[in-house]
Each structure stands twice: as structure tokens, then as C-alpha cells.
Amino acid sequence: MRIGVFVCHCGSNIAGTVDVAELAKRALTLKDVVHADHPMYTCSEPGQQAIIDAIKEKKLDRVVVSACSPHMHEVTFRRTCDKGGLNPYLFEMANIREHCSWIHTEMPVATEKAWDIIRMSVAKARQLEPLWSNEVDVNKDVLIIGGGVAGIQAALDLADAGLKVTIVEKETTIGGVMAKLDKTFPTIDCSACILTPRMVDCGQHQNITLMTYSEVEKVSGYVGNFTVDIRKKASMVDWTKCIGCEICVQKCPSKAPDVFNIGLEPTKAIYIPFPQAVPKRAAIQVDFCRYFQTGKCKVCERVCPAGAIDYEQKDEIVRKEFGAIVVATGLDVFPWEDYYGEYGSGKIKDVISGLQYERMLNASGPYGGHVHRLSNGEDPKTVVFIQCVGSRDESVNRPYCSGVCCMYTAKQALLTKDHVGMNTEVYVFYIDIRATGKGYEEFIKRVQTEFGVKYVRGRVSKLYESNGKVMVRGTDTLLGEQVEIAADLVVLATGITAAPGAKELAQKLNISYDEFGFMKEGHPKLRPVETNTAGVFLAGVCQGPKDIPATVAQASGTAAKVIGLLAKDKLKTSPMIAVVEQKNCVSCFKCIEVCPFSAPEKQEQRDGSFKSHVIETVCQGCGVCVATCPVNCIALKGFPTDAILDQIQEALLV
């Protein structure tokens, strides 16, 4: 055996704490190691060339790169080995950066630990064997979960590229949060004017199938071949007949909370969220419907000119196959009422959330764009905005910045002056102003100077009602004094929180998420729209707070990645899978019981008996069967038992 070891400097990332030259020298003393080097940047072009040259010149049959995490560059170096003519699975990586140089400070300590890690990796490398990938057919259909602006953008990009796209959206219409907005910063463009044509495009595109009022129930399979069960929720309206005329909505006698307008005014039990809905179809909120609650009514059935009402409708599970999945589930507004007792917990009528104010400003909202006090309907003379409600606040477990509130507050402050009049007093309480996008800082300046919005640096400690006003008590930290403002209307710059059900969806897709429910990208810079599950991609706020331009850009980036994946007719599967040594199999079939993917099967032998056999293209390489097999006759390629035991031995050599 001829092993080559490359101990990377990674500039000073590793060499600053680990004596890489010394380790390369020591590596040469190890059994089977015939070549050792310490390149400055092993992943760079000359670094990779050095590996290729060494494979050829020194006839290496194993390569160990001691550098960063395999999650960072394992794929890179496998490719390098391949180029050098070495089977890419005869490569092993020793992580001496993330797991060593970056967490230790003292050179001797880190160097000795790195030495252990390198020896362990060499020990593993000795046990590796060449592996070859299989090829599977690729389904070229794409599932997009979430029909907000991210899902819409990704869908249109993919559909224009000729791929068949299905959008699954839990509400009855696509559009998401952007459909609720009045204007967008920093241009004060009309949100609906930008979005609704895109929504219509989605509805009419021959390559896009809309499945609204539906949710993902179950996901199985793997990249290129996912099987997804989608629950089509019962809307009690036959959407093949419904023409969206809204007569049922006008005649319905039952009131229900209006989710689209964030509870500002009630809607009807049978509803269409907004006039530009796509698809424009009615649905009954069963919990509030008089017929479903009392057994009498059926007004909607009588008035419907299309005969679309169907009280017997049941949820339906639709099974579909996809090659790739894009998650674009967006966000929810931080539920401030549950956390901010000092702001009245939602009991003060004239204290509303940023999104509620957006609906109030919106001409197609419940008030036709009339800004007024909810307590008495009068125009407000003094409006106060409070920033960072549910953002940058550890006391409510939201230490992160939502990224959009500074800007939307400035926009709403401007629009307040625009709707109510320039003589309206508008105050903004802020911690810092974060205006990092293109044209954002200029916009803030314009709001402050041209529109005369007064910015007060400090947090509001209490809101309370007094003499028909909302008293805003806070501190001006720049002047160092207490401030009290009698406001007519208070708008909270409510932050972004992960969409409800985001964690459950992530679990169904086997992708990672953080403590706040935002989904984790493969790598923040190298794989920002991929997840660690091949074939599952991210777009928009489900990955972390961002504004509309960033969301749209990311969605297009995601679409490009999906197109890249599905441009191939065949996909290479990982050869690191389980293989049964059938001569030792005792036919207990425990492997079949434990496998999460039903990869092992009973295979008939020549003598008529049955032994276990793992279907290569189905196996995902978890190794659960390997640890379960009572006679140890299943091997996991790439992670052989002997390698693990040798790593243990090597780590403990004293």
C-alpha cells in the first residue's frame, strides 16, 4: 500500500496553531506512507495539482488530506483523486481545522491532537476500497413548497426552462406575505402591481400546476426520485366548478376571523382572501360555518350559480413523483401579543402590528386604504412606530435581526404622511437603523429630512391608555432623557419568525433547521441554496430573514441550481451503501425490519432459499442494518467496521 499525506497550512488557519511541517515529517514515519507534504492551500489549483502529480509519480493508492472539514472539501479532493487516476473513494480527509486548529490555542496541544487525527485518518485509509457509482434515471418534475414570492419566482424560472413545476400552497391562493403588502421599499412601488401579474403568470403557465389549500403530508425517496404525498384539504367547494364570483361570500351569514387581513375585520365563513387571488376560488372555514355548526343554513349552496358547493368534500391525498424539491415556506409575523405585556398584549385597540398597518394602508384592504384609529375611526394626528418588536430581543428568544423592519417602518412612516397629511406627527423609536441594501440609506435620509419623520433612539418601556390616547413612554438615549408621547396610533415593527410547521416540514424532508426554525443551508457561502439532503433546495425567508429583493434573487439562484441538477438524464448515486455478504446471511431479515428505506429485500438463491440483498439504488447508506445484523454479514462501503475499530485503536495509542 502506498499512502500520500497532505497536511494543509490553510494560510494561517491551520498553520497558526498546528505545526504542519512537523506533522508532514512525522507522517512519513507511518506504515505505508510513502509521500507527505504540507501545501499552503491544498484546495487551490497548485495544491490539487501537487496531489495529482504525487499520485502519478509516487504511484499512490491512497490519499489523505489533512485540512478542513470533509463537509467543506471532501467532494473537491475526491474529484482531484479522480483526475489523478485514483479511485475517488480511496481518499480520506483528516479534519484538523474545524475540529482542531480553530478550537485550540496552544501550538503543542493542537499539533499533538492533529497528529492523532492524521494517524486515525491514515488508519481508516488503509481499510478503504475502490468504489464505483451507479446511475439512476432522473424525474424532471419539481415540487415547490410555498407559493409566496420566493416560490413564484422559482416556479416561473423553472417553468420557463421547460421543467414541469407543482406549487403546493397551504392557503387557498398563492401570493404569500408579499400579497398583503401595500408598497415596497425603497421605491414605494405598489406591491400588488409587481406581484399579481407574476401570480397570474403562475396560474396560466402551461408548465405550472397549482395545488393551493394543500400541504405536504409525506416525503420519501431520494434526489431525482422523490415520492410525495400531498394532502388536498377539503374546501367544501368544487373548484372545477367555482368561478370566483363571490356571491356566496356576499350572502354568507356567518362571520369568521380574517387571516389574510390579520384579524383586522372579520370575513365570512365562506371566503376568498383577496380580489386578485390566484386561483380565485372560495373555501368554507368549517369551524365558523353555520351549516357545519348547527346543521342549518346552506345559503351558499342556494346562491351559487355554478352549483360548486359540496358539503360532503373530504381531504384527499395525492401522490406525485418529483426529481427535486424547493422549500419556500416563508415566514410568520412574530406573535408579539404573547410576549410583550408592556405593550398591552394586543388589548389596546390603537396598537397594531406592522403587517396590520400594511393592510390598513392598502387600498384593497379592509378599510380601502383609510388610515384611522381603530378605537374611534378618527384620523390619527400623532403616530408612533416602535422598532425591534420580536427582533434583537433576547428576552423573547429572538436575538437575531429580522432585517426588514427598519426599512418597512421608514416606508410606513412616509406613507402615513402621504395618506393622512404632511402635518401628522410621526415618531420612530429605534435601536439602530439597519439600511444596508441598495438605495436604502438614501431612503431613510429622505424619510427623515424630506418627510420630517422624527427618529428617537431608544426603546419604549411601556404603552398604556390615558384620556383616549396611547401613552408611549420611553427613553431618548442620545439626549439621555425620558420621553412621553401621547399617540393616536402605535405601530409595532413586528419581526420575522419561522413559518408555523417549518420544523415538522424540515423533519419530513430530513433537512436541518436552527433553534428558531429557519432551515439550514448546505454552507453559507458555498452552498447557500442547497440543503444537506441532495435534491432539496431552499428559497426565501424559510432559510433566514431577508427582504423581497434578496428573496427573489435567492429564488432565481435556487432555480438555477435545480435546472443544473435536472439537466442530467442520469444521476450518479453514492456507492457508500450497504452490501450483504450472502454466504454468511442467516435469513433472519432483521435488516428488512429496521431499514427506513426498504432497501433490503429477500432474494431467492439457486437452492430455493432466501437471503437478504440490498437494492443499490434504494439504499441511502445509513448503516442501521449493518449495526443490526446479528452475524455481521452486512458491510457499509466507505465506513467499514474495521476502519472504525482501527481509528479507535489509533486514537488511543499511548
Partner 1 sequence: MADTTTTTQASGAAQGAAPGSTGAPAVGKPADRPVKVIGIVCNWCSYAGADTAGVGRFRQPANLRLIRVPCTGRIDPLFALKAFQAGADGVLISGCHPGDCHYSEGNYYARRKFELLERMIHHLGIPEERFKWTWVSASEGQRWQKVVTEFVAGVEKLGPREGRAL
Residue 119 in the binding site for partner 1 (CB under 8 A): yes
The answer to the question of residue 106 lying near partner 1 (CB under 8 A) is yes
Q: Is 616 in the site for partner 1 (CB under 8 A)?
A: no
569 binds partner 1 (CB under 8 A): no
Rounded Cα–Cα distance for residues 246 and 585 (Å) = 66
Q: How far is the CB of 236 from partner 1 (least distance, A)?
A: 33
Tell which positions 30-59 bind partner 1, by CB under 8 A.
30-31
CB of 155 to partner 1, least distance (A): 27
Task: Tell me the per-residue interface mask from 497 to 516 with partner 1, x by CB under 8 A, - otherwise.
Answer: ------x--xx--x-xxxx-
Q: Which is nearer to partner 1, 229 or 238 (CB)?
A: 229
Q: Which of 26, 280, 373, 392 forms a contact with partner 1 (CB under 8 A)? A: 26
Nearer CB in complex with partner 1: 576/592: 576
Residue 222 near partner 1 by CB under 8 A: no
Stretch that binds partner 1, among 192-200, 364-372, 422-430, 626-634 (CB under 8 A): 626-634
CB of 99: closest distance to partner 1 in angstroms? Answer: 6
Closest CA to 60 of 37, 84, 31, 80: 84
Residue 424 in contact with partner 1, rule: CB under 8 A = no
446 binds partner 1 (CB under 8 A): no
Rank residues 467 and 653 by Cβ distance to partner 1 and give the closer one.
653
Residue 589 interacting with partner 1 (CB under 8 A)? no
Residue 40 backbone dihedrals phi, psi, to 5 degrees: -70, -55
Name the pairing type of β-strands 255-256 and 208-212: unpaired
- Give residue for cell 422559482: 154
Q: How far apart are the first and last CA of the chain?
A: 25
**Which cell goes with 469?**
390616547
> Cell 497550512, residue?
9
Instruction: Indicate the residue among 116 and 246 with the shorter CB distance to partner 1.
Output: 116
**Closer by beta carbon to partner 1, 109 or else 588:** 109
Exposed/middle/buried for residue 98 (C-beta within 10 Å: 0-12, 13-18, 19+): middle
DSSP result, 426-480: EEEEES-----STTHHHHHHHHHHTS-PEEEES-EEEEEEETTEEEEEEEETTTT
At residue 605, what is the residue type?
Q
- The distance of closest approach from Cβ of residue 625 to partner 1 in the complex, given in angstroms and rounded to an integer, is 9
**Least distance from C-beta 652 to partner 1, angstroms?**
5
Stretch of 105-113, 252-260, 421-429, 461-469 contacting partner 1, by CB under 8 A: 105-113
| Choices 102-110, 132-140, 370-378, 419-427 (CB under 8 A): range interacting with partner 1 | 102-110
Q: What three-state secondary structure class fits 104?
A: coil
Can you tell me the distance from the alpha carbon of 622 to that of 640, in angstroms, rounded to the nearest whole number? 12
Tally of CA atoms within 13 A in the half-sphere of 156 that contains its CB: 19
Q: Which stretch binds partner 1 (CB under 8 A): 104-112, 296-304, 467-475, 552-560?
A: 104-112
Cβ nearer to partner 1, comparing 250 with 512: 512
d(CA 181, CA 197): 15
| Residues 632, 588: Cα–Cα separation, whole Å | 12
**Is residue 526 close enough to count as binding partner 1 by CB under 8 A?**
no
Q: Is 654 in the site for partner 1 (CB under 8 A)?
A: yes
Q: In Å, how far from its chain's centre is CA 100?
A: 30
Residue 338, Cα to own-chain centre: how many angstroms?
25
* Backbone φ/ψ region at 273: left (φ over 0), alpha (ψ -120 to 50), beta: alpha
Q: Give the helix ranges, DSSP H, for 480-595.
A: 502-509, 548-566, 590-594
With residue 256 as reference, give the H or E element that holds it: strand 255-256
Site for partner 1 in 57-76 (CB under 8 A): 69-72
Maximum C-alpha span of the chain: 94
The answer to whether residue 591 forms part of the interface with partner 1 (CB under 8 A) is: no
In this structure, the chain runs to a length of: 654
Q: How far apart are CA 230 and CA 508, in angstroms?
A: 12
Stretch that binds partner 1, among 132-140, 472-480, 556-564, 589-597 (CB under 8 A): 589-597
Residue 594 interacts with partner 1 (CB under 8 A): yes or no: yes
What is the rounded distance in angstroms from the CA atom of residue 482 to the CA atom of residue 469?
18
Report if residue 648 touches partner 1, rule: CB under 8 A: yes
Interaction between residue 588 and partner 1 (CB under 8 A): no
Q: Does an H or E element contain 388, and which?
A: strand 382-389
If binding is defined by CB under 8 A, does position 633 make contact with partner 1?
no
* 286 counts as binding partner 1 under rule CB under 8 A: no
Q: Per-residue string for binding with partner 1, 372-391, x by CB under 8 A?
A: --------------------
Q: What minimum distance in Å lies between the beta carbon of 599 and partner 1?
A: 11
Contact status: 116 vs partner 1 (CB under 8 A)? yes
Q: Is 538 in the site for partner 1 (CB under 8 A)?
A: no
Contact 400, 541 (CB under 8 A): no
d(CA 412, CA 352): 13
Number of residues interacting with partner 1: please give it, by CB under 8 A. 64
Residue 290 makes contact with partner 1 by CB under 8 A = no
Three-state secondary structure call for residue 509: helix
Joined grid coordinates for residue 379:
384620523
Which residues make Cβ contacts (< 8 Å) with residue 487, sequence separation at least 6? Answer: 350, 380, 382, 383, 384, 427, 469, 470, 471, 472
628 binds partner 1 (CB under 8 A): yes
**Rounded CA gap, 365 and 182, in Å?**
9
In the complex, what is the shortest distance from the CB of residue 521 to partner 1, in angstroms, rounded to a whole number? 10
Among 341, 596, 602, 610, binds partner 1 (CB under 8 A): 596
Residues forming the site for partner 1 (CB under 8 A): 26, 29-31, 69-72, 95, 97-100, 102-106, 108-113, 115-117, 119-120, 503, 506-507, 510, 512-515, 520, 532-533, 576, 594, 596-597, 620-624, 626-628, 636, 639, 641, 644-645, 647-649, 651-654
